[in-house]
Structure 1
Amino acid sequence: MSKPPNRLPSLDVLRGLAILGILVVNVRTFAEVSTAQLNPGVTGSFEGAQFWVWFVSHLLFEYSFMPLLAALFGAGLVIQGDRLAAEGLQAGRLIRRRMGALGVIGLVHLVFIWYGDILLLYAVVGVIAARFRHLPPARLMGWALLFYLVPFAFGLLMSGILNWIPADEYQAFREQFWSADSTLVQQEIEAYRGGWAAQFEHRLMVLFESWPSMLVTESGWRVLALMLVGMALYRSGFFSGSWPESPYRRLALLGFGLGLPLCQWGVLYNMTHEWRMAESLYAGRQFNLWAGPLVSLGWASLVMLALRRGFLKGVTERVRAVGKVALSAYLLCSVLGTAFFYTGGRFEATPRLVQLQFVLAVWLVLLVLAPLWLRYWRTGPAEWLWRRFTYQVARR
């Protein structure tokens, strides 16, 4: 029987960094209407500090840390499968149980706490991704590129449709969704400045109306592709730190050197078109949807270089602790974010500089609390629940 693979510290550090980085983007979803994620000036000022806070987060974080987390999830599927197989267990069956348990946690999170949940999406896509885990890196990357092209083609198709539909239909759609006084925007503001029942109703609408289409047309394919990229990187030794330093340096330069200019080009494209729906809703997003994974690769390569050289050991150990309790940390961010922004009339009334201060405060909480928690317990509370539910169900 082969020896089960050891836990890689680098994966925990990267996972912790991803959790911290994703909060920079998620805070806007806590604090602003969902349309603002696509049209950032839809409900208020988009100049001065408001613009620059958005621009930096868009450039360095948006669509960058989600790919990193998805890639790490894919690498985790390979590690789990290899470990279970080495222990003589039915790896495929237990991975499906594990994804089912995660799906339950994600569904509860989405319906009762925050509509921006990614856990349910990862659980559904993870079942499919796990079937690819035995492939060599080259084939994994080939499938990943093919899957990533699906939402790209869909986006181009929808962009063409928006530019060809009759003007009255386009205007009706714009007034319903894209403008500050649209029905959906106003309903969302009323819900998240109101009571929990109204918020619950909005989250159910997201689950039954928006989530399935997102899974089938865009996010499902994209996350599947990124999980396969993570599997390929793990199989090739990227995450183990076994490569020489020069490939990590080249990948960091490649990721940032291509990704950042491409992202800036996308911002210029949208600003040139004044964030009109026909250009920005689909076509304008494509720049960062391709730039983001490149920037993510740059971040990951920098972290691997820092770990190889032993830089910032105190900080990386704290980030690693966050990575060890990543699921609990992710859920805690949602609880803190919704508790703060969904009360006191702060939803759609909190400047982005204040949102940034909230992010820094939560980072401090996580970097202090995670190492302290791990002094007394081996795993986070959500991780314990996930594992317990997985194996209890598996015994039935």
Structure 2
Amino acid sequence: MTIVGKAVPIASYPRRLPALDVLRGIAILGTFASNIWLFTAAAIVAGGRGCSGWWTSFWQWLPNGKFLGLLTIMFGIGLEIQRQTAVRAGKPWPGKYPIRAALLFADGALNYIFVVTFDVLRIYAVIGLVIAYLLLARERVRWWLTVGFLAVHCALLPIVASMRAADVRIPREGEMTGLRPGGPVGAGYWETVAVSFENFGPGFGLHSEFPLVLFLGLGLFLLGANLYRMGIFGPERRALRYAIMLFGFGIALPIDFLIGITSMVPPQLAVFGRYGSAAGVALALLALVAEYFVRRERPGPVGRPLSCVGRMALSCYLLQNILGVIASRTVLTRPEVAVLDPLLLTGAAFLGVSAVLIAFACLWLRFFPRGPFELLWTWSYRKLARE
């Protein structure tokens, strides 16, 4: 069903919000801070050094799930922005959005097959297509759907935890089909591509990360859209932002710390952190950045590079994975690198790739209005949509 959007009482923002680009940049680099351990895993194993130690565990826990949750929320906000843009222009919604979803799915499929097997773009494309139609629902219905999706997700977590306790094969953190970024140990690049292609279908099966991310994504997409409509970035919503921060930092963060760091919770319950409490922390991060930028029109020296990454979110997401794979098959295979401390090695790899991304994004945006993949994506959309 496609209808012309009707006027509804939603928040109106008078200018481009710098918080949105900064939040996207934080989400992109934050997810890479979690995924970088997958790129350095082979080098750590080759060096014969484990990742034990409280300090290492802390840095593995810190980004785990939180920035993935933030990225998911930002996708929902972006979808609502597209809907509002269509409404203001008098265009039907969802209109031609299914074409956008198909392009996003294609991006994710190529990323999955040729780059990394822990891609989320394919799932976001499926979720986004569903949410695009649900955004037409009334406010009360949208909130009930949000609660319903998250409730189903929470009901699935104990099942997943029990499967892990029974040692049933299910995906670990960062996995989609059980493959590492470099594919099977010792495999060449094209052999890895062949295995990834073979496992493309199972990547949506019950033993993949798809069921875990699906209902969480549906809930967070809708939650992000609802919060944007409520005016989460407006000065009049300070009480809402502080309430979210109180919940996220005061309740979700301590729970996430207990699950991820302490020995009080068995490892089988780790899914409650990455796919549970981490989402609450992500909401608090959203509220914190929104509060900071309420009365600031410019990102500032720290926010500016993050904003550049955020404006090129798709390009930077794909490029960080490409650079990670290249590094894992070149620099990180050298013997002198493998003997480094795992935390030092991983931290250096993260900072190096992040510096390249930030420099590239800031330089590119001096000459072009959008990132390279965004430009290609827009051109493809206009051709397919005949605009």
1:256-281, Cα deviation, whole Å (9 max, x unpaired) = 11122101221367x45764xxxx1x
Which residue is 1:364 aligned to?
Answer: 355
Residues of 2 paired with 1:138 and 1:272: CA distance? 39
1:153 Cα deviation (Å)?
A: 2.0
CA contact (8 A) 2:25 2:310 kept: yes
Post-superposition shift, 1:11? Answer: 1.1
Answer yes or no: is the 8 Å Cα contact 2:33–2:350 preserved in 1: yes
1:55 is the counterpart of 2:42:
no
Alignment RMSD, CA only?
Answer: 3.3
1:150 and 1:221 in contact (8 A); partners too: yes
Partner-residue secondary structure (3-state), 2:235 = coil
Q: Confirm or deny: 8 A CA contact 1:251 1:301 kept in the other structure.
A: yes
The alpha-carbon distance between structure 1 residues 21 and 243, as it changes in their structure 2 partners (threshold 3 A), is farther
Write the distance in 2 (CA, Å) between the matches of 1:89 and 1:188. Answer: 42
In structure 2, relative to structure 1, the CA distance for the partners of 1:312 and 1:129 (3 Å cut) is closer
Q: What CA deviation, in whole Å up to 9, does each residue of 1:159-201 have, x standing for no partner?
A: 44566x7xxxx5xx57x999xxxxx78x987735431122113
> How many angstroms apart in 1 are the aligned matches of 2:183 and 2:114?
18
CA distance in 2, matches of 1:148, 1:246: 23
1:24 matches 2:33: yes
Compute the displacement of 1:108 (Å): 0.8
How big is the shift at 1:306? 2.2
Q: Which of 224, 232, 244 in structure 1 is aligned with 2:218?
A: 224
| Residues 241, 308 of structure 1: 8 Å contact kept | yes
Task: Tell whether the 8 Å contact from 1:137 to 1:233 is kept in structure 2 after alignment.
Answer: no
Counterpart of 2:55, as a letter, is W
Query: Which region of structure 1 is more displaced relative to structure 2, 91-100 or 141-150?
Result: 141-150
Shift of 1:136: 5.2
- Long gaps (5+) in structure 2: 1-5, 173-177
- Asked if structure 1 preserves the Cα contact closer than 8 Å seen for 2:22 and 2:299, the reply is no
Q: Which residue of 1 aligns with 2:306?
A: 319
Identity %: 27
Equivalent position of 2:50 in the other structure: 45
- TM-score, with normalisation over the residues of structure 1? 0.81
Equivalent position of 1:328 in the other structure? 315
* Residue of structure 2 aligned with 1:337, choices 315, 324, 332: 324
Corresponding residue for 1:181? none
- What SS does structure 2 have at the residue aligned with 1:378? coil
Deviation at 1:158, TM superposition (A): 4.2
Residues of 2 paired with 1:388 and 1:290: CA distance?
A: 38
CA, structure 1 residues 200+87, in 2 after alignment: closer, same or farther (shift >3 Å)? same
Q: Does 1:141 align with 2:143?
A: yes
Alignment match, 1:298: 284
Q: CA deviation at 1:17?
A: 1.1
Q: Distance in 2 between matches of 1:13 and 1:257?
A: 23
Matched positions, count: 364
Query: Is this contact kept in 1: 2:101–2:129, CA < 8 A?
Result: yes
Judging changes above 3 Å, is the alpha-carbon distance between structure 1 residues 263 and 206 closer, same or farther for their aligned structure 2 residues? farther
